Structure 1
């Protein structure tokens, strides 16, 4: 008898083969949902109303460190992004170098979000700007009233205050009440070309490539999780899911290099894909624990340093045991 389960992710090219039933999970009939991360992570944190879902690596790590996670993760990393390009400043704040962020008021939707964990780590470890040297303001990026999805207590020496009532972080940044913002999603005003919001690193692609060449880190944002009770009852499901996601990713990667009929509306996508395949030495977007151990260890260290984890979590604690090692033929 087939298991009937729900699966939710953002609408990525690397999961489309699963959503379109081109790739199936053995023994499972999946009801797939495409949800934006903010809604998906909120629902999973509060209600666990989906069986298998994309989830914030930071929120998951925080709950694992407390020994209270209702999930277990799979080494499938649907979202990974270099984040230098998401460090924004107000044009009139006079911030043209990371060191000038010291003493400034910087907005962040949630302090414990994965993207700001990486952004703060970059500022601290690459430029000497420690989190304690900044005044942090949290709140909704586009709509006022957002709160941390997982309650936590800031460590000593970190100044965090809520955004002014009725104000979004984007409004505060535009009006000069904030000097900058660390974010995952770029503000709508920035997308529309409002000149009051600028990137701290205008040539962010070059800076991010230099960061990778120096550190070997391609930041991971999200992992896949399944309800722990589901895993305990059907442990075979975890490696079957990993295999399906791997197959779907391989299909998406193959499409990047298709020239007979371009799969996207980017005329030189194939040229860019070939350049990036060479830059990453043939492994554009790795899944698996060992392939990502260095990046995961760095993230777990940053998470602990920033006072988010209650203890230093080990990489292998995060994932279903039967997905950590893979068979070979």
Structure 2
């Protein structure tokens, strides 16, 4: 019997390389991998369902799942996770010295419903009492004025969301001082260029995030892995096969990261960073699987619904194919 030839779109991460290079096989599948940036994958997935299997924005996927309109069903593989205390950039001339100082300010976002932004609003409200209704949100492309929301939004009363002026970018507005801050998954180019009046909100984002993790045990999930629903109906073994292969690929990448006799990535002090991550978060700090991450997913979904992004309160297990919720042990 010939293998299924399936298109798989993911980012170019170390945890994907063993799969992309063919070292790790997916049972019954002949994959065609496409390594693309998240913005392209999500746009094509949610507008046209272009791929058989792909990385999905957790927020956009939750919107679609709650509405019953997602062409994809996920497995508990999480290609992207990140602490987002590095995602808040502020002007230094606006008196913003603490998160509470964001109240009353104008904050730019590339899209309101981006997963990173949901997580930032979660900890701003939970830790510092800054609610979404306390600021004015300005929506637009970071560097391209033509960017639009992928998902139609219906926000709660009191949340003010405006579009950036036509032809203007979020980075340009921050650089010129027409907005006070930016929240998003990438640094605006004016920050990368070292603009003297643009800085991180937190003086030490890594230490702030580590302290938050100790209190909450939340390592934010950004993306999950989706399969076209029709494929899982035709091939019920596919979700389990994917979960197993992606877990194996990640384990191999971590084993190589651990071997520092000849460092595998172009960065000094890798062993110190790896040791610190495991001391803080445990050996399997980048865990896949449902049981290991149910508390993280539920916290996100509560915030997501509270913000009016998902039309109903989802349970974490609703996001995933039933066959992927449990794994076998040897």
Shared fold, TM over 0.5: yes
Q: State the partner residue of 1:95.
A: 96
Q: State the partner residue of 1:21.
A: 22
Q: State the partner residue of 2:134.
A: 133
Provide the secondary structure at the position in 2 that maps to 1:29.
strand
Counterparts of residues 84-163 of structure 1 (less than 5 Å): 84-163=85-164
1:5 and 2:6 equivalent?
A: yes
Q: State the partner residue of 2:194.
A: 193
Question: Using the alignment, how far apart are the partners of 1:152 and 1:130 within structure 2?
Answer: 18
Provide the secondary structure at the position in 1 that maps to 2:15.
helix
Provide the secondary structure at the position in 1 that maps to 2:224.
strand
Q: State the partner residue of 2:280.
A: 279
Provide Cα deviations, 1:52-110, integer angstroms capped at 9, x if missing partner: 00010000000111111111001000101000111111121210111111111001111
1:210 and 2:214 equivalent?
A: no
Counterparts of residues 187-266 of structure 1 (less than 5 Å): 187-266=188-267
Provide the secondary structure at the position in 1 that maps to 2:111.
coil
Question: Using the alignment, how far apart are the partners of 2:136 and 2:260 within structure 1?
Answer: 49
Q: Is the 8 A contact 1:57 1:114 kept in 2?
A: yes
Question: Using the alignment, how far apart are the partners of 1:264 and 1:251 within structure 2?
Answer: 14
Shift of 1:267: 2.3
Provide the secondary structure at the position in 2 that maps to 1:64.
helix
Q: Is the 8 A contact 1:85 1:202 kept in 2?
A: no
The answer for unaligned runs of 5 or more in structure 2 is none
1:183 and 2:184 equivalent?
A: yes
Provide Cα deviations, 1:233-260, integer angstroms capped at 9, x if missing partner: 1110111001110010001111111122
Question: Using the alignment, how far apart are the partners of 2:256 and 2:276 within structure 1?
Answer: 15
Counterparts of residues 49-68 of structure 1 (less than 5 Å): 49-68=50-69
Counterparts of residues 67-82 of structure 1 (less than 5 Å): 67-82=68-83
Shift of 1:218: 0.3
Question: Using the alignment, how far apart are the partners of 1:12 and 1:293 within structure 2?
Answer: 24
Provide the secondary structure at the position in 2 that maps to 1:4.
strand
Q: State the partner residue of 1:303.
A: 304
Question: Using the alignment, how far apart are the partners of 1:277 and 1:61 within structure 2?
Answer: 30
Q: Is the 8 A contact 1:71 1:226 kept in 2?
A: yes
The answer for unaligned runs of 5 or more in structure 1 is none
Shift of 1:114: 0.3
Provide the secondary structure at the position in 1 that maps to 2:211.
helix
1:169 and 2:198 equivalent?
A: no
Shift of 1:185: 1.0
- Runs of 4+ residues over 3 Å off in structure 1: none
Question: Using the alignment, how far apart are the partners of 2:271 and 2:193 within structure 1?
Answer: 28
Question: Using the alignment, how far apart are the partners of 2:243 and 2:208 within structure 1?
Answer: 32
Provide the secondary structure at the position in 1 that maps to 2:222.
strand
